[in-house]
Amino acid sequence: MKEPIHFTPAVTFLLPDGSLHRVAAGGWIGRTPSAALVLDDARISEAHAMVSLRGPDLKILGLRGRLRIDGAPATDAVLEEGMVVEPARGLELVVADVRLPTAVMALALPGLPPLLLAGTTSILTRPAPAAVTRYDPAASAWLWSAGPHWRLHVGGAPARDVAPGVPFMVDGVRCELVAQPLAQAGAVDTVAGDGGLAPLTVRSHYDVVHVFGPGDVAVHFDGQLGRLIAEVAAVGAPVAWYAVASAIWPDEADRGTLRSRWDVGLSRIRRKLRLAGLRGDLLRAAGIGLIELFLRPGDRLDDRG
């Protein structure tokens, strides 16, 4: 169903208890309390799946857990009314409604592709302009939806409405809300605050990793964070997170604690890259329980062992 521009792409699921739950594009489905759809089931991973806008389609993507779509195993699927999604055997989420606007709202920052707005977006200005689709307390400003309106909070000033086509300044950086045609609003084309698609060079020295971006931008990782990147890079293909984590923390026998350390490590790496104005998807999920070093065309890995 097509909706006016201010609507965020979203899917509504009918849950087994008869309740309806809406998940907007970019929303997570899982066991963690911060998920957009929380499923209280021991078989569900913390971040089991997510809803993502890919080109003109709203899709569900399997992350750390398995999915069955209309009874068949799947890693992803275009969401359609009547579809049955099973994140665990017998736990059926029926797609009751899929809402797609003709265009979506995006944030334009200097030198970056437009970023699709969903939920809360944080605007960072140091060391380079960037934006992330989550609340970051270190940000210079925050954007969020309030029904048909978008609200802006900059520093200590009161929150106010912002409208598309009317630029506003954040720490001297010109920002603007723009209408993004739906067919151009997929996740790949709307990654702002991740260095755009500028080529990266990853130089790995076992437990010290340097990531070089455009200009003089360089981010350095050592210790456990450096080794995490280096171990994934050395494999050269998607690898199970547990295998890498076990090598980094060999004395940790509890899988839940190991997973927590892994998630914290990944979060710190991605945050450090984004704060430097580089893209945060250098390490990304590549299937159920897998992680990979994600090199785009033009990126280069210099593995010095």
Contacts of 264 (CB under 8 A, 6+ apart): none
Q: For residues 190 and 15, which has the higher predicted lDDT (pLDDT)?
A: 15
Most confident of 83-97, 210-224, 243-257: 83-97
227 with 183, same domain: the answer is: no
213 with 266, same domain: the answer is: yes
- The pTM of this model reads 0.44
Please provide residue 302's backbone torsions phi and psi, each rounded to the nearest 5 degrees. Answer: -115, 90
20 with 70, same domain: the answer is: yes
**What share of the chain in percent tops pLDDT 70?**
86
62 with 87, same domain: the answer is: yes
Decide: 289 and 241 in contact? Cβ < 8 Å.
yes
Q: Give the 3-state secondary structure of residue 48.
A: coil
Which single residue is written with the structure tokens 């699927």? 77
Report the relative pairing of strands 37-38 and 28-30 from DSSP bridges: parallel
97 with 107, same domain: the answer is: no
| Stretch among 5-14, 78-87, 147-156, 202-211 having the lowest mean pLDDT | 5-14
Whether 195 maps to a domain, the answer reads no
180 with 225, same domain: the answer is: no
Domain's final residue, options 170, 190, 210: 190
Check which CATH number belongs to the domain holding 181 and give it: 2.60.200
Whether 38 maps to a domain, the answer reads yes
290 with 237, same domain: the answer is: yes
Whether 196 maps to a domain, the answer reads no
Q: Which domain holds residue 269?
A: 201-303
Rounded Cα distance between 193 and 122, Å, is 10
Name residue 104's beta-bridge partners. Answer: 180
Chain mean pLDDT for the chain: 81
Q: Model confidence at 137, in pLDDT bands (50, 70, 90)?
A: confident
92 with 150, same domain: the answer is: no
pLDDT reading at 258 higher than 90: no
Check which CATH number belongs to the domain holding 282 and give it: 1.10.10.10
205 with 297, same domain: the answer is: yes
Q: For residues 41 and 207, which has the higher predicted lDDT (pLDDT)?
A: 41
Domain's final residue, options 135, 170, 190: 190
Q: Which amino acid is at 6?
A: H
Check which CATH number belongs to the domain holding 96 and give it: 2.60.200.20
Decide: 140 and 3 in contact? Cβ < 8 Å.
no
Q: Please tell me the total count of domains within the chain.
A: 3
Whether 207 maps to a domain, the answer reads yes
Q: Determine the average pLDDT of the residues in 257-284.
A: 82
Rounded Cα distance between 11 and 37, Å, is 11
Domain's final residue, options 130, 155, 190: 190
